[in-house]
Structure 1
Amino acid sequence: MHEFNRRSLMTGLMSGALVLGLDPITKGWVTGANAAGPFDSVPALDGTLRTDAASLDAAADDFGHIVHHRPLAVLEPGSVQDVVKMVKFCRRHGIPVAGRGQGHSTNGQSQVAGGLVIELAPLSGIEISGRRASVGAGALWNTLLQATLPRGLTPPVLTDYIDLSVGGTLSAGGLGGQIGHHGAQVDNVLELEAVTGAGRLVTCSPTSRAPLFYALLSGRGQVGIITRATLRLVPAPETVRYYNLFFATLPELTAVQRALIGSGRFDYVEGQLQSQPDGTWKYMLEAVAYGATAADDARLTGDLGATSLTAADQAYYDFANRIGPIVDILKSLGEWTRPHPWLDSLLPASAVDELVAGALPTLTPATVGFSAVILLYPIDTAKLRAPLLRMPDERYAYLFSILRTASPGVADPAAMTAANLAFYETARARGGSWYPIGTLPLTPQDWKRHYGPVWPAFKLAKRTYDPDGILTPGQGIF
């Protein structure tokens, strides 16, 4: 393992590595082990630059386990200044760079062939003041929630799985069941600190450097690497009442979801489609009321027309972290390390029933695997303000997620990816969009079409803040 930092000289001497000298420009130590290639004269760092095979292999993978782009080095920053130094270094030498949180995307978005991956996990500090939290990009939402709850506070919006990094979800958007009240996670950001592609450490907000601020939120790391975010907090409930309501048909489910997210009756609204052994489907609404009890059941659910329901009281944290124990089981079964060609479609309300009904007959073990989850939940687009989080041009949209897992001997990742692309094209023709964390290889022209009217501003931001185009090439946007 090669490590280049302030301890490199002593480490090199003790390990027998030949120290060739101190680079007069960068002040970094050049050793026989690293005296070749683009990283032969790195700056002095507080953290560590790794070039060992294990580190490079890990950075050449993500949750999708399908695309593999191997970098030349991985930075574990000891400070934000390490990120600044290495982005400047890479810009000077024409080396591509990608930031990486938890690597939970599925199509190589956080990978970079022949470049530098910056692991943001070390930047994980949390400071809470009043109803604001200043959070390092590498911090997990789970960790943040555990820090805010003793103060009676919570982030307004949480993704279903909360062991994701703050910087990672803000670069994507951060969708959750609380959208009807608070929008997406990107809509609850007060300020950002980021290192631009020009190697500048910049603080921005809706009132200061607003073009950069809005190009970072849902910006897929194209204009800068988020290093810290200041987030809004709201009062947290102690308990929740969690309902699963089942409906006879898909149109009944979507109509109730749309009505509920518009009325604000529940604090959280999502849904799932569950396949049955006889080939039929169950249409399930997930709804949560903060602080409710069994005494509220009739008022909350009595007029919804569900064929059946279950209800349970939970501590708020247990509800927020409900996916964590499931993930532990999937990991124990080996499902977490298998290919995941996920698709996250955004469908207009006017076409959701037709598009989803057309897709359901194709969702078999051979096309989604044995542990797939099919999500369907409503989005009030009026609550969303981040320009780059693209939505169908209607008041209500739906996230339709096919969380495929390529079970061994059953499902082929390439065929799954082709199915994703086919559905995307069908949905796009009906006014649909997609939430780009999944497996959907697009061309630059596809991306231009995806961003539509905001493409010129996004392209200008790219040219302004990443003038040499070194940031986050894995998605092929520019």
Structure 2
Amino acid sequence: MEFAIFCTKVNILIIIIALCSPCKFIQSPIDFGPPNMLQAKNTLSLDFGRIIFDSPSAVLRPQSPEDISLLLTSLFASSFSKVTVAARGAGHSIRGQAQALDGIVIEMDSIPSNIYIHKRGHDEEGFSYADVSGGAMWIELLEESLKFGLSPRSWTDYLYLSIGGTLSNGGISGQTFKHGPQISNVLQLDVVTGKGDLITCSPTKSSELFYAVLGGLGQFGIITRARILLQEAPQKVKWVRAFYDDFDAFTMDQELLISMPDLVDYLEGFIIPNEPSLLSSSIAFPAHLDSMPPFLSEGGSSKVYYCIEFAVYDFQVRDTNVEQVVEKITSQMSYKAPFIYSVEVSYFDFLNRVSMEEISLRSRGLWEVPHPWLNMFVPKSGIKEFKCLLMDNIAVNEFEGPILIYPLLRDKWHTNTSIVLPQASTCSEEDEQVFYIVGVLQSTNPASCSAQCLDGILRRNRRIVEAASTEKIGAKQYLPHHPSLMHWHNHFGRHWNRFVAHKNLFDPLGILAPGQGIFSRIHASTL
């Protein structure tokens, strides 16, 4: 069954008839649009991960949230349809999460971005905020908000992701320890549920839907508009990198820096297993590294290093000396002298730093390749053991790509959202507040890594997940992918019943987000 949907109500009704018809009515793609739509449909079986390739039967390019509502209302009303629907933003998923095998993929970027900035003066009540379409990208919101001297508080490292996509997962970066994830910086949402209901929700209006959708993996509704909290944007950023050869010193300094939110505005860290990894992670850092840590020890074996990356925002306020702030911070750190570097860049260039790495990877043919990434939330109590587990399972000399590792604070995350955080089994109340994100962001070059090689990396990642998910470490996947319902049940743990209850309330037929592999599609007649 191959056809494409365009954004008129007539075409939506035609496709619903075609998909739901017991006689399996089939149409050609060119009957509903130009011939290149077939290529577009095939493209939607791809994502950034390039690991799963589930092709949809149809593509919807809506012009308004009402088009999405009409589609889902009709599918929900059908007593015999088993069609599923996935919303696709920028296509940056890793394991087919935004794909719908033989179903319908909704291209969210076809809805006009419609970014509206609401700036409040110092003498006015309330917050500055932006109303923005769910399919718009964060880079678009940044560019528009900066015209007003404003910016969202919390980011992802890569800005060419959709608003709705990151809010469905969490949205984290180096500002998360200070302002929380992106899902903690949302004031209001417009959501189309699996029943087709178009609902405006907030912490005080339809709050159960609001919190369920945030971090909900697309299971309960499609975000069509978000109201994002804004703050004053700095002019420049002082960007610092310091290197370590001792993991304990590295993590102690990271935890020191997140205890200074009045001084530090951004904090991330890296495990650097080899010299190419250092070079690839330094592409966006515009400083000449006139000396580098010696990656080969005297005995000839490879040495692993660690890097703390932090930033201080410069608002160009006369009574604030950014250099003195940086000196106050670094004087308390225990980095490996003399390996510390600093640069001053514009705020926009700092936030958009990963785009330079994208350009480099594209030039080397390493962007549109499989990305068997692994992201884990790890309690502070288990981070050292997890590091050992990770380093025991990767080929240090051959690994290509960054390994992110930096601490977050639990009290910056709303507990009512759907996201799952790790629970340390035995630690003090103070330690329980700290957990780490570890991102193993590996690229595989098909010229040197065959399908068998890629499968081996995926099996390695699964072994790490299984070992790290035990009570001894207590880790949880971020951007999760699990092979079975049992694994999903274990992932959500004590929150599983709440997650199921929300599914039954907002998408009882299991129409939405089939690529996550959590729930099965059911007939309306079985309810």
Question: Shared topology, TM-score over 0.5?
Answer: yes
TM-score, with structure 1 as normaliser: 0.89
Query: Bigger CA drift: 258-267 or 200-209?
Result: 258-267
1:388 equivalenced with 2:388 (yes/no): no
Which of 418, 440, 456 matches 2:459? 418
Question: Which stretch has the larger CA shift, 285-294 or 252-261?
Answer: 285-294
Structure 1 unaligned blocks of 5 or more: 9-21
Contact 1:189 1:232 in 2 (8 A): yes
**Compared with structure 1, are the counterparts of its residues 36 and 57 closer, same or farther at alpha carbon in structure 2 (3 Å cutoff)?**
farther
Q: Could you say what secondary structure the match of 1:338 adopts?
A: coil
Q: CA deviation at 1:434?
A: 1.3
Matches within 5 A, 1:161-176: 161-176=158-173
In structure 1, give the amino acid aligned to 2:265: D
User: Is the partner of 1:272 in helix, strand or coil?
Assistant: strand
The alignment status of 1:350 with 2:381, answered yes or no, reads yes
In structure 2, relative to structure 1, the CA distance for the partners of 1:35 and 1:399 (3 Å cut) is: same
Q: Deviations over 1:193-226 (max 9, x none)?
A: 0110001111111111111111100001101111
Shift of 1:468: 0.9
Q: Which runs of 4+ in 1 moved over 6 A?
A: 27-31, 48-51
Aligned counterparts of 1:27 and 1:435: Cα–Cα separation in 2:
39
Q: Percent identity?
A: 33
Deviation at 1:3, TM superposition (A): 5.4
Alpha carbon RMSD of aligned pairs, Å?
A: 2.8
Residue in 1 aligned with 2:256?
Answer: 259
- The residue number in structure 2 matching 1:19 is none
Contact 1:156 1:234 in 2 (8 A): yes
Structure 2 unaligned residues grouped into runs of 5+: 120-127, 275-294, 297-301, 315-320, 424-431, 520-527
Residue 399 of structure 1 aligns with which residue?
437
Pairing partner for 2:483 from 438, 442, 449? 442
Structure 2 residue aligned with 1:195: 192
Q: Name 2:57's counterpart in structure 1.
A: 72
User: Are residue 109 (structure 1) and residue 97 (structure 2) matched?
Assistant: yes
The alignment partner of 1:336 has SS state of coil
Give 1:53 shift: 2.9
1:317 aligns with 2:348: yes
Number of matched pairs: 454
From the superposition, tell whether residues 260 and 216 of structure 1 become closer, same or farther in structure 2 (CA, over 3 Å).
same
Q: Which residue of 2 aligns with 1:17?
A: none
CA distance in 1, matches of 2:273, 2:396: 10
Per the alignment, residue 12 of structure 1 pairs with: none
Partner residue of 2:330 out of 301, 304, 308: 301
Matched, 1:230 2:271: no
TM-score w.r.t. the length of structure 2 is 0.81
**Shift of residue 362, structure 1, vs aligned partner:** 3.1
Q: Report the CA distance between 1:453 and its aligned residue.
A: 2.0
State the distance in 2 between where 1:236 and 1:217 align: 25
The residue that corresponds to 1:81 in the other structure is 66
**Deviation of the 1:367 alpha carbon:** 6.9
Deviation per CA, 1:7-56, whole angstroms, max 9, x where unpaired?
89xxxxxxxxxxxxx89x9488999xx9984677xxxx9xx799943122
Separation in 2, partners of 1:464, 1:50? 40
Deviates more, 1:321-330 or 1:297-306: 297-306
Measure the CA separation in 2 of the matches of 1:116 and 1:26. 13
Letter in 2 for 1:374: I
Q: Secondary structure at the match of 1:350?
A: helix
* Whole-Å separation in 2 of the counterparts to 1:69 and 1:28: 19
CA deviation profile, 1:96-134 (whole Å, cap 9, x unmatched): 000011111110100011100001012222111121101
State the SS of the aligned residue for 1:337. Answer: coil
Q: 2:148 & 2:304 partners in 1: Cα distance?
A: 42
Structure 2: distance between partners of 1:66 and 1:463: 30
- In structure 2, what is the equivalent of residue 14 of structure 1? none
Report how far residue 409 of structure 1 moved: 4.4
**Aligned 8 A contact 2:3 2:58 in 1:** no
Deviation at 1:427, TM superposition (A): 1.1
